[in-house]
Structure 1
Amino acid sequence: MEFRLLGLVEVQDERTGLRIVPTGAKQRALLGALVVKAGHNVSVQRLIDELWGEHPPANAENALQLHVARLRRLLSGVESRSVEQHVQHPWIVTTSRGYTLQLAPVETDAARFQHLTDEARRILPGDPEQAGELLRRALSLWRGPALEGSVLGDICAGKAAQLEEHRLTALEMMYDAYLRTGRHGEITGELVELTTDHPVRERFYDLLMVALYRCGRQAEALRVYERARNRLVRELGVEPGPALRGLMEAILHHDPALAAAAGPRPAGPVPAEPVAVEPDLTADDAVLPLCEEIARLHRRIERLQQEQNQLLSRFNELTASTAQRVTAGAGLA
């Protein structure tokens, strides 16, 4: 039996194909919290906080017991329909302090996802093609937002955020693997969507710029940098990090390190890949974005210096005023 968190919280018996989705957000939240904390005791009070937050019912402990009893029946029902299951497994154990779900690490889709991404990360430098396939399989396990449909208290909300970060990292690794195998022409559209959906995640801009450059679309790659910079400044008030700035400079100077990685080659001679020409991008045009950025940085430094001088001047005025008041008070005394 597999407990599934990568989407709507549910249980599936893979032997029979039976799939059970707990009814009600609180039932799903209870199951999600116990699965997240599998093998560890979860106190009654923490589960009450998870299900009801700051507004628990007057009989919260009794209400929790009722939800646990329903969840036990649900899990027992899944097992009873399995033709190969003869001894029921006591999934939820009551302890003196709360409840524990007894669960092996491999019994969740989240664990399978993590195993596949860890293996892909290990082999990515030497076998990017196989790594890309493993990451594609890992990402196919996602059916929607993690722990979807549950009341997200601290336990479920924290795990959902962690899993979403792992999903985005897996996407970054997968497209990195595709670039390493020469598939840059296939992924530009998908990367454009990712930069739109995650406008402050610099790695997606990085991958898109490399893909465009390798397609011979240097001007578009540079415009992606400008778009990334504008979004970061507007959303976060920060400039792009050194990796993205370094990539922009590498593109401007046609750094040989940006050349497309060699993918599997068919038998016989392979014609050179056509490179799109950008007639509207002269050498001066290419350098212009970098010059404009340097000028903007100089202006920003000057503004910061002026603000610092104004604050220092104001501080000196306040100090002098305070000293005068103290002296005048001493004279009156």
Structure 2
Amino acid sequence: MQFRILGPVEIQDERTGLKILPTGAKQRALLGALVVKSGHIVSVHRLIDELWGEHPPANATNALQAHVARLRRLLPMPEPGSGEQHHEWIVTRSLGYVLRLGRDTTDADRFNELASRGRAAAASDPEHAAEVLRGALALWRGPALEGSVRGDICAAEAAQLEEHRLTVLETLYDACLRAARHGEIIGELEELTTDHPMRERFYDLLMVALYRCGRQAEALSVYDRARKRLVHELGVEPGPALRRRMEAILRHDPGLVAPGAAEQVASVHPMPLPVRTGAAAPAGPDATVLGLSGEVARLQHRIERLSLEQEELMRRFDQLMARPAAGQ
């Protein structure tokens, strides 16, 4: 059996695929709280607060007992021959109730296990790390404890799990950059900067991915977008890490180059440009020259555009650096 809280609370029999879904918000909140605190006694008082908050019924203890009884009937009995015939899921104690998982697990435990493995492999084997981390994130079916967040127990756990999910996402895309898979993650990072506009690390990763794809102007515009959003929403400038990233992009810092890119560039022999000497040209020289001329013109136009944008960003940067001095 697996108790799932990375999404709506449910129980799944991994042998048969059968899913058990508690009906009613209070049943979901009760199961969610017991799963979060599995192996520990949850007091009657805390469970009443979890289900009814500041407005419990007059007979709250009896009402809670009725919900526990209903939940017990919902939980499956161990299969004959499993060695767990006498296993009782929810045990009554003098102070409250405890959910005993025994050998069963939660999807949150599995997520934490895979996330730890992925982080450990990120530096030495980023390809494998990315695969493991994507497997961890695939366990999520929606917001943690969706439909069960009525009290402090589930609310605190949901917030902690969501923060862990975002941290794993950051680790995943950092591993993708280490594996030189920058071109694959731009769209996903764009969505994340939209969904989590206050999280600077997603902007940072997106800027690196764009820069490595030869899209310096877009990478710089991401910084500008992040700054405007942070100033508008929080009244603060981007943090030092994001500012350093912007400056590195402006300087074309070699540290931004994708792993292995320098070796690839060094191994490529540059194509000789045609030289006009007045001698007879080889077959088709006009087509070659025209093609190269068009490419050079496009490159010059792009360089001019990037130079203008760089000057504008540097002007803004100088203004930002001058603000503290002006206020002294």
Q: Could you say which TM-score interval applies, normalised by the shorter chain?
A: 0.7 to 0.9
Cα offsets for 1:89-112 (capped at 9, x unmatched): 211111110011112586000000
Q: 1:208 & 1:62 partners in 2: Cα distance?
A: 54
Q: Does 2:284 correspond to 1:286?
A: no
Any conservation in 2 of the 1:51–1:151 contact (CA below 8 Å)?
A: no
Query: 1:58: Cα distance to partner?
Result: 0.7
Any conservation in 2 of the 1:33–1:156 contact (CA below 8 Å)?
A: yes
Any conservation in 2 of the 1:4–1:108 contact (CA below 8 Å)?
A: yes
Percent identity for Structure 1 against Structure 2:
65
Q: Which residue of 2 aligns with 1:145?
A: 143
Residues 106, 175 of structure 1: alpha-carbon distance in 2 compared, 3 angstrom cutoff:
farther
Unaligned runs of 5+ in 1: 306-333
Indicate which of 207, 210, 221 corresponds to 1:209.
207
Q: Which amino acid aligns with 2:42?
A: V
Query: 1:146: Cα distance to partner?
Result: 0.3
In the TM superposition, structure 1's runs of 4+ consecutive aligned residues that sit over 6 Å from their partners are: 269-272
Q: 2:313 & 2:21 partners in 1: Cα distance?
A: 53
Q: Which residue of 1 aligns with 2:72?
A: 72
Q: Structure 2 length as normaliser, TM-score?
A: 0.85
Any conservation in 2 of the 1:7–1:145 contact (CA below 8 Å)?
A: yes
- Alignment RMSD (CA, Å): 2.4
SS of structure 2 residue aligned to 1:281: helix
Match runs of 1:302-313 below 5 Å: 302=326, 304-305=327-328
Q: Does 2:295 correspond to 1:299?
A: no
Q: 1:139 & 1:271 partners in 2: Cα distance?
A: 42
Residues 143, 135 of structure 1: alpha-carbon distance in 2 compared, 3 angstrom cutoff:
same
Q: 2:182 & 2:173 partners in 1: Cα distance?
A: 9
Q: Which amino acid aligns with 1:66?
A: A
Any conservation in 1 of the 2:43–2:97 contact (CA below 8 Å)?
A: yes
Any conservation in 2 of the 1:208–1:221 contact (CA below 8 Å)?
A: yes
Q: Does 2:72 correspond to 1:48?
A: no
Any conservation in 2 of the 1:26–1:151 contact (CA below 8 Å)?
A: no
Cα offsets for 1:231-287 (capped at 9, x unmatched): 111111111111100000000000000001239x99xx8899x9x953443435314
Q: Which residue of 2 aligns with 1:182?
A: 180
Query: 1:301: Cα distance to partner?
Result: 5.0
Q: Which amino acid aligns with 1:250?
A: A
Q: 1:280 & 1:202 partners in 2: Cα distance?
A: 29
Q: Structure 1 length as normaliser, TM-score?
A: 0.83
Q: Which amino acid aligns with 2:171?
A: M
Q: 1:271 & 1:91 partners in 2: Cα distance?
A: 69
Q: Which residue of 2 aligns with 1:156?
A: 154
Q: Which residue of 1 aligns with 2:231?
A: 233
Q: 1:60 & 1:280 partners in 2: Cα distance?
A: 72
Any conservation in 2 of the 1:209–1:224 contact (CA below 8 Å)?
A: yes
SS of structure 2 residue aligned to 1:163: helix
Q: Which residue of 2 aligns with 1:324?
A: none
Q: 1:92 & 1:224 partners in 2: Cα distance?
A: 51
Query: 1:193: Cα distance to partner?
Result: 0.7
Q: Which amino acid aligns with 2:180?
A: G
Cα offsets for 1:215-234 (capped at 9, x unmatched): 00000000000000111111
SS of structure 2 residue aligned to 1:33: helix
Query: 1:17: Cα distance to partner?
Result: 1.2
